[in-house]
Amino acid sequence: MARKHTDHLTFDNPVTRHPDITPPEQDQDMPGLDAELEPRTDRGERTYRGTGRLEGRKALITGGDSGIGGAVAIAYAREGADVAINYLPAEEEDAERIAELVEAEGRTCLRIPADVTDRKTCDRIVEEAVDGLGGLDALVVNAGRQVATASIEDITDEQFDETVKTNVYAMFWLVRAAVKHLEPGSTIVLSSSVQAYSPSETLLDYAMTKAAMNTFGKGLAKQLAPKGVRVNIVAPGPVWTPLQVVEGQPKDKLPQFGKGQPIGRAAQPVELAPAYVFLASPESSYVVGETLNVNGGADSP
């Protein structure tokens, strides 16, 4: 007998628990908004049910206004955490919605609009989060830049530089600024990608940065483990987010986005959130330097 899907803990068929979407060809200016995405995403607004697994925690989430980051912010709040979300100023509309949902749970949502491609700004983001939350014990490095480009000859120096700064430099700067605030039991979670293992021919620069993130995270995990600070990585497969419609996918490929996965569809952001909750929670105390692949069945190391 089929069960009605009511929240992320409902026992049902994973193939059909979210719609097999066929997104129309669409375009948004960088950085893109969840509010303008067609079809809209499920970030857990009505489908994530908390169980108190992060009670009293204080988390900074970059890219926390939309997509996976927005879903993580909602989930963390419903699990009992106060959150600071970083995002670009142009994403304020999405950030306001996430803040409403977080605050509806009785949790703090500190909004920090800022561009992570600058070192001093990354330092400031961390300090504002620490001051605003009264400390920091979870860092989720999630903000990313992805631009589909058919030929390496068309990847400009400017695009390459912006992608590397957003995905690699910012990760390094944010972690470096945060570690002095992280007490034993704290966690760092990095958002990598299936592209790190199975790169698309149109995402050379993006895939390279995600492979770098995996290596960085595993090395950092060894360095910080003796201090009781755990570092892990999540590697999502195709997830329906604004990243895909700005320049993240060729426009003619959007209707088939995610359909090649064994599960037969793209993920919704809420389906990634439990991985980030698990890796930030004490129940994963012996999980260190792991890359958790959430990709609908695609091969991965």
Model pLDDT for residues 135-166, shown as the tens digit of each residue: 999 999 999 999 999 999 999 999 999 999 99
Kindly report, residue by residue over 203-227, the tens digit of the pLDDT.
Answer: 999 999 999 999 999 999 999 999 9
Kindly report, residue by residue over 242-256, the tens digit of the pLDDT.
Answer: 888 887 788 888 888
> pTM (2 decimals)?
0.94
Domain extent listing, the chain: 55-256+269-294
Residue with tokens 């989430």, as numbered in its chain: 61
User: Which residues have C-beta within 8 Å of that of residue 2, sequence separation ≥ 6?
Assistant: 12, 13
Residue 30's nearest CA partner among 248, 251, 192, 257 is 248
- The set of catalytic residues is 206
User: What DSSP string describes 84-102?
Assistant: EEEE-GGGHHHHHHHHHHH
Torsion from C-alpha of 40, 167, 123, 274, nearest 10 degrees: 50
Tokens coding 69: 């980051």
Kindly report, residue by residue over 257-290, the tens digit of the pLDDT.
Answer: 989 999 999 999 999 999 999 999 999 999 999 9
Report whether 157 contacts 118 (CB < 8 A).
no
Under CATH, to which class is 55-256+269-294 assigned? Answer: alpha beta
Q: Where does the chain show beta strands of DSSP type E?
A: 58-62, 82-87, 109-113, 138-141, 187-191, 230-236, 291-294
